[in-house]
Structures are given as structure tokens and as C-alpha cells.
Structure 1
Amino acid sequence: MKIHSLDLIVFLIYMLGIVGFGVSFYFRKNSAADFVTGGGKLPAWALGMSIFATYVSSISFLTLPGSALQGNWNGFVFSLSIPVAAFIAVRYFVPLYRKLQNPSAYAFLEERFGPWARIYASSCYLLTQLARMGAILYLLALPMHVLFGWNIPLIVLFTGLGVVVYAAMGGISAVVWTDAVQGIVLIAGAVGCFVLIVFQMPEGITQIWDIARRDSKLSLGSLSSDLGQSTFWVVLVYGLFINLQNFGIDQSYIQRYKSAKTEQEAKKSTWLGSLLYIPVSLLFFVIGTSLYAYYQVFSDSLPLELQSIEQADKVFPHFIATVLPPGISGLVIAAIFAAGMSTVSTSINSSATVILEDHFKKYIQPNPSQNIQIKVLHVASLAMGITGLLVGLAFNGVESALEAWWALASIFSGGILGLFFLALLGKTKTNVPPIAAVLSGLAVIAWISLGEFLPDTIRPNFTLHKNLAIVFGTMAIFMMGFLLGLVFNPSKREEKVI
């Protein structure tokens, strides 16, 4: 399958335009604060669009329609947990981080438990971002390789270098404003695809509805209490914990809290970015169901190799390439790349901030000049971006990149949320309870995530869905730390001294 020359022109113009727009912010910043928080002057709507664009990676753009096409709307339950997490974020997390003088999300952990907690959390965050960038770049390249014959390493290099250039040069202002543009392109592309599917159907939207109801494609999942299956409750609880992790301890979100002009503006951006994702994710599921109905009617137009369940994620790109008019398909392909680029650029910028605040300033040069800070941010952005690009190349040939990413994310980031809740709600300031709690939580996460690789003697003899690893890991850390905190709690006299 060959891409039309007009699509290629549209795609290249978009890519060059977005990179050029991002690079232009290099000439508008004068300090490290401009690079990290935009000087605290970014508007709420742009920050909200940036939060939204970070939510919608290229994985979402491709896998959500594929999930609806091969199954039902069970995955949409994840989005239903967002309002609860956003409310907690607006009520507690935004005020907490706005009060902290340090732009790092992990300075709070150091205040509560000492330097080890900050080193642990920030290092886990950096490892998570490398895995995330690599997985997104690879998963972005895979369908383009299958559909258009583009070389996977070249796609990873081309996309990765483009993002690295503007994220490293322009700082968070470049990231936020390019995210805002890319979020709009993404929504427009998705809406356009759905409208075209409806117009292609002989009986319009009612035919899609009838086929979807006939084949039970609109279910949100089983309401059973089986923790080994992807039930409504398993996805809802998993979504709640993942979203609390995003809002509570993800550096990229915390930077956006601090980039707003006021606390009220930060709260508005959080509501906008999180709530906008709900209808857009619903739109992706609607597109998947509509594609199912479309290829029920036009079954001859779907190649045999794409008709298996395992190939469901490639059906939407196939539709884009074969049904959309030339030029429009190029814009939608650009929207898919936009989804990936916005997430990767966010990871680069937030990782550079963590390297400067949590490592360089703490252990190399405590009071660097503005010039040195900006140089460190540039170098750290380049280093993280290129390393993430190399991780993306290393994913080439992995049997399931998405499952590999989930496993790595569970191990690297699963323990931080529990530690954050322990810092927020726990009583002790000694090191023994939180360290013991983190070790126990990581053991639980590894036991659930990697159970099939463990020896028979310690392998779980019951089934838990892997998405529950972060749920039980977080609970184990908090409960263990809280109970040990009661044992190691200082005496009343010591508390008065403190």
C-alpha cells in the first residue's frame, strides 16, 4: 500500500511546521524558570489542552478503536474514573504543589522522608519516561510500517529527532503550545473520520447503532467480582489509581500546576485537560464500533490478513489509508503522529527538570547560575530524548511492545504512588517504615506483574489481572508504612520538639 503524494506533502508540511513552531520558543526564554514553568505565565486553556494531549498518546489513537472493534467498550470505563481523580487533584494536589517552592514533584517526598525518597522516586520516574518514550515511538512506527512500508527505525529516528529538537530548545512553553495545536488537530482528525464513516454507511448512523446492539459491542464489561478478568470494576479501580498517580506524582502534571498564573488557573487547566479526554476517548470507541459496522457491510474491502482479532489495531490505519480522500488522510496520519509527539515532548521536558532539580542541584552544584541551569536543561533534554529514541529502536522485534511497556511501568512507577500517599497521610518521619513499605509494595507488584516467570513454589495459585498490580502495590505500601509508623512513631515529647 502506497501513500498518496498529497498525503505525504500534507504530513511533511505539518511536521516541519510543528517543529519550527516549537523551536521558535528558543528565542523567547531568558531563564531556567521559563524553560521549566514558562515563568508561571501560561494560560489555563493551553495548559489544559497540553494535559489532554499528554493523555492521548498515539497508543490511544490506535488501540482504543481497535479495542472497541474487536471487543466492546470495556476500556472506556478507565475514562469514567477521571472525574474522581481530577476532583482529588484539584482539592488536594494542586494546592500542595503550588505551595512548594521547588518545581520538582519529589521535593515533597524529601521533606517527609529524607533524600533517599527523592532519589528513589525521581530515578524511577526517569526510567519510566525512557520506557514510555521508547514504547510510544515504536508503537507509532509499527502500523505505518505495515500500511505504507515505511522503515521502522527511520520512522522512530525521524519522529524522535523532531520532538527532541523543539522540546530541548523551546522548553515547556514549546511543549505546551505545540501540545495545544496538536490536540486540536487530533480532535479534528478523529471527528472527521467518524463523520466520513457515517456518510459511507448506506443507512447512516442508525445502521451502525443496530449492528452494534445486535452484536453486543456497547457493553462496558461484566459486573462480576472476578479479579482475574477485565471486568467493569477491575478497569474502574485500575483507572482510578493510574489517574491518581498521574495527578499526584507525575512530574509533567506537577509542572503544569506550577506553570499557571494562579492556583485557580491551575485548577481550571486540570479540569479542562482531564474532562476533555472523556468525550474524546468515547469518540475513539465510537469510531472502533463504527468501523466494525462498516466492515460488516463492506467486508470485501478489508484484507484477509487484517480480519483476525490480533490485527484489530491496524484496521483504523487501513481505513485512513484506503477510504479517506487524499490530503485528509495525510492530516489524520499527522494527527496520529501528533498524539505521539505531544506525549514524548512532555516526557523529555519533565525528565530534564527532574535531572536539574533532583540530581544536578542536589549533588553536583547547589547554586548554579541561570546560564548553567539552562545548559543543563538543554543537555538533559537531548540526553533523555536520544536515549528514549534508542529505547524505541530496541523495542524493534519485541513480541508485544505494549505488554513490555505495561510491565516496565508497573515495576518502575508502581511504588511511587503508595509512597506519596504515605507522605501525605502517614505519621512517621523516620526512614524504617517507608523503606520497608516500598520494598514490600515492590514485591507485591513484581509478584502480580511477573507471576508467570516466578518459580512454582512462590507463583500465585490464583489469578489477578495484571492491571491490579499498581492497586495492590500501592495499598501494600501505604498499609505497611502506616502500621509500621505506629510502631516507630516518636514520643509525644519528641513531637513537641519537632
Structure 2
Amino acid sequence: MQMLDWIVLISTLLLIVIYGTYQSRGSKNVQDYLKGGNTSKWWTIGLSVMATQASAITFLSTPGQAFNDGMGFVQFYFGLPIAMVVICMVFIPLYHRLKVYTAYEFLENRFDLKTRTLTAILFLIQRGLAAGITIFAPAIILSAVLGWNLLLLNIIIGVLVIIYTVSGGTKAVNVTQKHQMIVIFTGMIIAFFLIINKLPDNVTFSKALDIAGASGKMEVLDFSFDLNNRYTVWSGIIGGTFLMLSYFGTDQSQVQRYLSGKSLKEMQIGMIFNGLLKVPMQFFILCIGVMVFVFYQFNQAPVNFNPTATDVVLDSKYAQDYKDIQDQQQRNFDKKKEIIANFITNSNPEAAQSIATLNTDNDKLRADARQLIDRAGESKNLKVESNDKDYVFIHFILHNLPRGLIGLLLAVILSAAMSSTSSELNALASTTVMDLYKRNTSEKSDTDMVKASRWFTLAWGVVAIGVACVANLAENLIQLVNIIGSIFYGNVLGIFLLAFFFKFVKANAVFTSALITQVLVITLFLLNQYELINLPFLWLNFVGCFLAIIIAMLIDFDKIPPKYKTVLVGLIAILLYFAYLILNNTPS
């Protein structure tokens, strides 16, 4: 990091914070503070919704995901356009008509206070954890790569977000997110063209895609119904649709973004805009990761991209074994460069097969290196992250981009962290104030409610920083956030679908069903973790939703109209068939 990078980084972040605080000053009542005075245009809503979902994890983990596994991760988002249409037709008109502040207010009108409270608490648990991870994700990686103090980074990111979120509420979040997305898009586009520019002169973008394709990185679509494959067209369309319906339709961090819209039409266009742009955006970010992979076909990559992990293993009794792997990787790299030169000229199948074989060998070497790192960490009683997917892109930025642009790309990462965290804190405070505090206290004035909202925003900010300070890395950070959501989202979506479409189901049945379903989903997740069943996390959304609906209908079976009994039988049959697939795909 040179002085120019520091100037670009600090000035970009401070300008965003100061601008957001200034533009949102004067929020004196609950309408202004929690719904931004209902002044947001469709493009502000669309960009704010995208910024909420596109955290720093997206820009750190997604390129690394593509570097390791290729473009298949984009299938995760295939359900999003479908979900956007349903939300625009069902969820938004209902919320707009009822003039709710939170999604969970509707549940009290439809069911009762305890159902509203339970659903709000489920949201607070999962989103409170996620808020901490969105702070922790960039902090842990920047700390490892730049040598910055992890605890200090967690606090700095959290405090910057708290300043403008406490000050201006929803309007501050929306205003800053619009500009944060501009910074993010600018930085990622520049990064993409710089990567292409750094490839050899005779390697065009088309040739780069051919090289990536030879190593299996361009396999976008997987139509198999194999539960061993985490990302397929079917898991994306079915599991992804249920996840996106719940996230965008019932998660207050997203609902609050479009509830600030100037009109019903502005809300709907904003969400359609998000639905149309999100999949291409993720495809583009994955493509950046694939181009980084191609770049490292011509430039020597480290065996492990986490410098802290490398330092630990090289300072252990496994140092020589690790150096042997480094030497073998170097020999593979030299051999591969010759083969790729031949492939660029002739594009023959034999060369393509040789490239794929050498990259497979390289993957095995990297896996062996991770095992050595884990052993070295255990021998020193250290927690060392050997899985380096999240470090790939930041390593490329720091070692290959020109000065000034490094600061801009780091600003992109931190801006993304701030944008998603600010939305989460804003939503956590709104839900706490409107669904718990106001509903269980005596009547409060607008001034008291705004004060309470600010205090709860501050409190949740402190909680998020606390979670960030004690968090541990998962296999991949973007998966960790989606896993946390998937444990809760299916159940919550089932509650809302019961409210929308099953008018005969009563409050007690829904409340009981929600409790049972949550226990069952957590049990299924734990069984999968211990490899007793094979159920990828994305399918938990589908299972949780079906369980919530089926159990509630069974509890109120005597109230079911005849035509709905056929629906119940159909739902049970689908769930049983899915259970059969799970058991059939579970290793004995």
C-alpha cells in the first residue's frame, strides 16, 4: 500500500459517510427515519436492494469461487427473477396497501401477536449473526493480507457504518448505497479490463475463455438432479426461488429498502430492475474470477493465497514438505505454459486435455498443501485458515494492480461491507422498535420512537461488531451467509405463504408449526454437517417452507376445505419423494 492508495481509500470511504450523513439530516419522525419519508425512486430502490445483498463477501468470495470451481455458482441465482415477479405481484401490493413499517406487522393482522413476535425474533437471530459476518469477512482477509489488526478493522468498519445509520436511518442507508454501488461497479469494471490487459498480447478474451474452458471453468449449467452437486439448475431454480422469495419478501433488511419507495409502481420497478441486473452482475463477477484463473496460467500463483497460512507452515516441521509441493507446482507451471502456447496456436483437443490434467494435478497439490497447513496450525495450537478461496482476488489486487487502483478496489470491498451492514442494522433496529418495543410498551411519541430507533441501531451495531470479533471462517464466506439464511428462511417463508394463501389456517396452528419446523430444519442441517444425510444447504429453504405449511395444515386438519386436502396430499407426496432422494443420495 502506497500513499496514493491510502488517500484514495480513506477519501472514498469518508466522502460516502459524510455525504450520507449530510443528505439524511433532519429525520425527525418515524416515517422519515424508518421509511425515508417514502421518497425513493425506482433506481435508488434497485441499487439499494442490490447493495444490501452484494456485501464485501460477494466481491471477495465470488471471484475465488470461480477461480476454484468455475462459473457454476451463477446457477444459485437462477431463482431470483422468478422470485422478483412473485414479490411484485403478491408481497409489495399487500405491504403497500397495509402501510406497514415491517413485514412482520402483517402477520399480527393475519394471525396474532405471538406469531408476529416469533417471526421477528427468527429474523433478528439470523440477521444479527449475518451482520457480524459482513463486518468480519473483509476484516479477516484484509488483516491477513495487509497485516492490519483484525480487532481494530472490525471496530473501524462497524463504527463507520453506525455513524451514518444512526444519524439518518433508512434515507441515509439508501443515499449511501446508491453511491457505494457506483464505486463498486466502477472498481469491478476497471479490475476486469486490467486483468484482460495483463494477459499476453496473443491471448484475446476469446482465447482466455478457451483456456478456462479447457480446465472446466466455463461449465455454467448442470441439469443433473444429483444432491451431491451443490449448485445445479434445479437447486438454483427450486431452492434458489424459495430462498430469494423469503429473503426479498420477508427479510426486513430487504423489505425496508422497497418500503421507502415513493409509490407502488416505483417499488415494483425497483425490484424488477434488481431481478434483471442481479444475475448478469453475478455472472460478471464470476467471470472476473475466471479471468484471474487464466492470468495465473501465465503467472506463477502461490500454493496457498493466504499469506498467514503460508508463514505458519513454513515456520513448522512441515516446511520441507510444503517446499516440495511448491517445487512440484513450479514444474507443473513451466510444463503448462508450453502446452498453453501450443493450445493458443492450434486449439487441439490433446493440448486441452493436457491443460485439464495439469490443473487437476495442481488442485491436488493445493489440497495437500492445505492439509499441511492444518497440521502446522494444530501443532502450534493456532487457528489458521487453509482454505484460501476468499484470498484469491485480494491477492491479485495487491500484487498486480497499479498504485491508486489498489486503494480503489479496497474501497470497493469496504464500501460493500458498509452498505450491507448498514441495511442490516437499519432493519434490525426497525424490527426491534416496531415489532417488539412499540408493541409491548405504552404509547410513545414520534420523538421517542426515533430516539429508540437510534439507540437500537447503536446497540445492534455493537452486537454486530461483537459477533465479528468472535467469528470463525467457514469453507467459503459467501456460503456461510447463505447457510445461516437457509436455516431460517424456509420456515419464515412458509409462515407468510400460509398467511397469503391458506386463509383457513389459524394462529395457534401456524405458531406451533413454526416452532416444530425450526427444530426440524436445524436437526436436518446438523445431520448433514455430520454426514448422516446428504442435504445441501440450499434445499433447506424448500424443505423448511413445505414443512411449515404441511404441519400447520395437519394441526388444523378439521378446518381444511375439501379442495385443500388434495393440495395437502400433493405437498406431502412431494416432500416424501424429496426425502427418498435424500436417503438415496446418502452414503451408507
- TM-score, with structure 2 as normaliser: 0.78
CA distance in 2, matches of 1:44, 1:342: 18
Contact map agreement 1:187 1:280 (CA 8 A) in 2: no
Q: Please tell me the residue identity of whatever aligns with 1:100.
A: L
Instruction: Report the equivalent of 1:480.
Output: 551
Are 2:75 and 2:231, in contact at CA under 8 Å, matched by a contact in 1?
Answer: no
Q: Report if aligned partners of 1:98, 1:257 keep a CA contact under 8 Å in 2.
A: no
Q: Indicate whether 1:344 and 2:421 are aligned.
A: yes
Aligned equivalent of 1:374: 450
8 Å CA contact 1:22, 1:166 repeated in 2: yes
* Letter paired with 1:436: T
Aligned counterpart, 2:59: 61
Q: Mapping of 1:44-443 within 5 angstroms?
A: 44-202=42-200, 203-232=203-232, 233-299=234-300, 302-306=301-305, 308=366, 310-365=387-442, 367-395=443-471, 405-443=481-519
What residue is the counterpart of 1:495 in the other structure?
none
AA at the equivalent of 1:351: L
1:27-66 residue CA offsets vs partner (Å, 9 max, x unmatched):
2323111011111112211111101111211111111111
**Aligned equivalents of 1:399, 1:128: Cα separation in 2:** 19
Cα deviation, residue 423, structure 1: 1.0
Kept after mapping to 2: 8 A contact 1:167/1:175: yes
Question: 482-491 or 78-87, which moves further after superposition?
Answer: 482-491
Q: Deviations over 1:168-208 (max 9, x none)?
A: 11111110010000011111111111101111111231231
Deviations 1:445-477 (A, max 9, x none): 1122111577xxxx85x4221221121111111
Deviates more, 1:443-452 or 1:119-128: 443-452
Change in 2 beyond 3 A, CA 1:475/1:452 = closer
Distance in 1 (alpha carbons) for counterparts of 2:167 and 2:23 = 7
Q: Is the 8 A contact 1:33 1:39 kept in 2?
A: yes
| CA distance in 1 between partners of 2:529 and 2:195 (Å) | 44
Distance 1:402 1:189 in 2: 20
Change (3 A) 1:273 1:403: closer
CA distance in 2, matches of 1:439, 1:250: 18
User: Contact 1:185 / 1:335 at 8 angstroms: preserved in 2?
Assistant: yes
- Farther off after superposition, 398-407 or 445-454: 398-407
Output the CA distance in 1 between the equivalents of 2:459 and 2:303.
43
Q: Aligned partner of 1:270: which letter?
A: M
Question: Residues 107, 442 of structure 1: CA spacing in aligned structure 2 closer, same or farther, 3 A cutoff?
Answer: same
Aligned amino acid, residue 482 of structure 1 = M
- In 2: Cα distance, 1:311 partner to 1:436 partner: 42
**Which deviations, in whole Å up to 9, do the C-alpha atoms of 1:284-338 show, x marking residues without a partner?**
1100110111101112xx2233283632321110111111111111011100111
Q: Which position in structure 1 is the counterpart of 2:355?
A: none
Once residues 315 and 108 of structure 1 are traced to their aligned partners in structure 2, the CA distance between those partners, rounded to angstroms, is 44
1:411 to 1:278, Cα distance in 2 relative to 1, 3 A = closer
User: Would you say the 8 A contact 1:75–1:235 is kept in 2?
Assistant: no
Q: How much identity, in percent, do the aligned residues show?
A: 28
Q: Please identify, of 223-232 and 243-252, the stretch whose mean Cα deviation from structure 2 is larger.
A: 223-232
C-alpha deviation, 1:130, in angstroms: 1.2
Point out the more displaced range, 427-436 or 312-321: 427-436
What residue is the counterpart of 1:496 in the other structure? none
Cα distance in structure 2, aligned partners of 1:220 and 1:342: 29
Give the alignment's Cα RMSD to 1 decimal. 2.1
CA, structure 1 residues 441+228, in 2 after alignment: closer, same or farther (shift >3 Å)?
A: farther
- What SS does the corresponding residue of 1:270 show, helix, strand or coil? helix
Equivalent AA in structure 1 for residue 547 of structure 2: A
2:31 corresponds to which of 30, 33, 51 = 33
Q: Name the SS of the counterpart of 2:293 in structure 1.
A: helix
What are the Cα deviations for residues 71-110 of structure 1, in whole angstroms up to 9, with x where unaligned? 1212101222211011111111110110113211101111
Letter aligned with residue 401 of structure 2: L
Distance in 2 between the 1:96 and 1:378 partners?
A: 28
Shift of 1:212: 1.3
Q: 1:485 to 1:220 in 2, by over 3 A?
A: farther
Distance in 2 between residues matched to 1:10 and 1:39, nearest whole Å = 33
C-alpha distance in 2 between matches for 1:334 and 1:344: 15
Equivalents in 1 of 2:212, 2:492: separation in Å? 40
Deviation at 1:436, TM superposition (A): 3.2
Q: Aligned letter for 1:422?
A: L
CA distance in 2, matches of 1:212, 1:397: 28
Count of residues paired in the alignment: 481
2:316 corresponding residue in structure 1:
none
Instruction: Give the deviation of 1:162 after TM superposition.
Output: 0.3
| CA distance in 2: counterparts of 1:323 and 1:280, whole angstroms | 23
Output the CA distance in 2 between the equivalents of 1:90 and 1:408.
25
CA contact (8 A) 2:505 2:552 kept: no
**Is the 2:28–2:447 contact (alpha carbons within 8 Å) kept by the matching residues of 1?**
no
CA shift for structure 1 position 398: 7.4
SS of the residue corresponding to residue 21 of structure 1 reads helix
- Once the two structures are TM-superposed, the CA of residue 370 in structure 1 deviates from its matched residue by 1.4
CA distance in structure 2 between the aligned counterparts of 1:373 and 1:304, rounded to whole angstroms:
54
1:152 Cα deviation (Å)?
Answer: 1.0
Relative to structure 1, the CA distance from residue 402 to residue 335 in structure 2 (aligned partners, 3 Å threshold; closer, same or farther) is closer
The TM-score normalised by the length of structure 1 is: 0.92
Shift of 1:397: 7.1
**Unaligned runs of at least 5 residues, structure 2:** 306-361, 368-386, 563-588
What amino acid is aligned across from residue 433 of structure 1 in structure 2?
A
C-alpha separation in 2, matches of 1:465 and 1:418: 19
Give the C-alpha shift of residue 266 in structure 1.
0.8
Contact kept? 1:201, 1:207, Cα under 8 Å: no
